Amino acid sequence: MSDIIQLLPDHVANQIAAGEVVQRPASVVKELLENAIDAKASHIKLIVKEAGKTLIQVIDNGIGMSVTDARLSFERHATSKIKAAEDLFQLQTKGFRGEALASIAAIAHVELKTRQENDEVGTEIKIEGSEVISQEACATPVGTSISAKNLFYNIPARRNFLKSNAVELRHIIDEFHRVAMAHPSIRFDMYHNGSETFNLPSSNHRQRIVNIFGGKTNEKLVPITEETDLVQISGYVGKPEYAKRTRGEQFFFVNNRFIKSSYLNHAVNSAFEGLLKEKAHPSYFIYLEVDPQTIDINIHPTKTEIKFEDEHALYAILRSSIKHSLGQFNIAPVLDFNR
């Protein structure tokens, strides 16, 4: 008999984990933006080149990292955000898995520059294929800049699998919008190939939505609000006459995190019943606040799906609150004698 099991070397394990966390440039954008938010930044700048294929850089003015933390941040399961499994149910942060930086560093050329307020000099670290190439003291503003270059440089199959720049850029912008909509008080800028694509000043939910989707959006928003023991609902639905053929403008945020939920989407659609033309989809920008104890975020690596403890009640509350708001705005069903 002979033993055949061995532990995978770190860089191999990281590369495998990266396959789950990083599907495309937009995944890197999401992780880096979320880290900047967790670092309490008030201004976050996203710079991409060639739709993120050659460069994705996020610069924040958050709390920065110490020398030791800067190095540790690239280890797998290294996180400052939770200490025990129970903490998963009191999450105040976007991150908690401690996998993003390790994953990104396994499949891109990564450069980190970071400094904390009370440190005179910052730290600069360069990593390729999970290996630290250099670490030096450097002059850098308070906060953190992380750049990921040449994504999937060491996994040709993944690199070739990437879509056209137009498609990959669309995914990046979608991700940028979601994060920016969840955090309207933070200022966000985005640059693509050297030119400014977005400049979103610190503001409120409504203004942020308008800044992203254009001035005409303002007049089509119907506010919704509801407060129960289970959930606090705020946000907007689009007036029925603005409903679209495409599902572009449909957003749920739970505790400031963008999520996808076909179940809750159904609740919204059912509130619009009789108000929409056939095949039209309502726009919505809905913010739900729930007790973190009543949700489970850890069911998918990208955290865009979550489990609610009481999904049925949530469905009913959401539906009735939207119906109520539409009613208040005197939006009557479309007359359709063929129904």
144 binds, among Mg ion, ligand ADP, none (CB under 5 to 8 A by kind): ligand ADP
> How many residues make contact with Mg ion (CB under 5 A)?
3
148 lines the binding site for Mg ion (CB under 5 A): no
Least CB distance to Mg ion at residue 262 (A)? 26
Residue among 292, 268, 287, 295 nearest 227 (CA): 287
Q: How far is CA 75 from CA 53, 114, 127, 218, 337, in A?
A: 24, 17, 12, 45, 64
Exactly one of 95, 184, 240, 282 binds ligand ADP (CB under 6 A); that residue is 95
Phi and psi for 57 in degrees, rounded to 5?
-130, 135
Do 105 and 74 touch, CB atoms closer than 8 A? yes
123 lines the binding site for ligand ADP (CB under 6 A): no
Exactly one of 14, 27, 73, 130 binds ligand ADP (CB under 6 A); that residue is 73
186 lines the binding site for ligand ADP (CB under 6 A): no
Task: Give CA angle at 178 (177, 183), nearest 5°.
Answer: 95
In the numeric block, the tokens 């509801």 are attached to 226
140 lines the binding site for Mg ion (CB under 5 A): no
Q: Rounded to an integer, what is the distance from CA 32 to the centroid of its chain?
A: 9
Rounded to an integer, what distance in angstroms lies between the CA atom of residue 151 and that of residue 158? Answer: 9
Residues 26-65 as x/- pattern, contact with Mg ion by CB under 5 A: ---------x------------------------------
Six-digit token pair at 333? 């069903």
98 lines the binding site for ligand ADP (CB under 6 A): yes
Rounded to an integer, what distance in angstroms lies between the CA atom of residue 40 and that of residue 139? Answer: 21
36 binds, among Mg ion, ligand ADP, none (CB under 5 to 8 A by kind): ligand ADP
Per DSSP, the three-state class of 224 is coil
Q: Which spans of this chain sit near Mg ion (rule: CB under 5 A)?
A: 35, 95, 100
Q: Which spans of this chain sit near ligand ADP (rule: CB under 6 A)?
A: 31, 35-36, 38-39, 60, 62-65, 73, 78-81, 95-102, 144
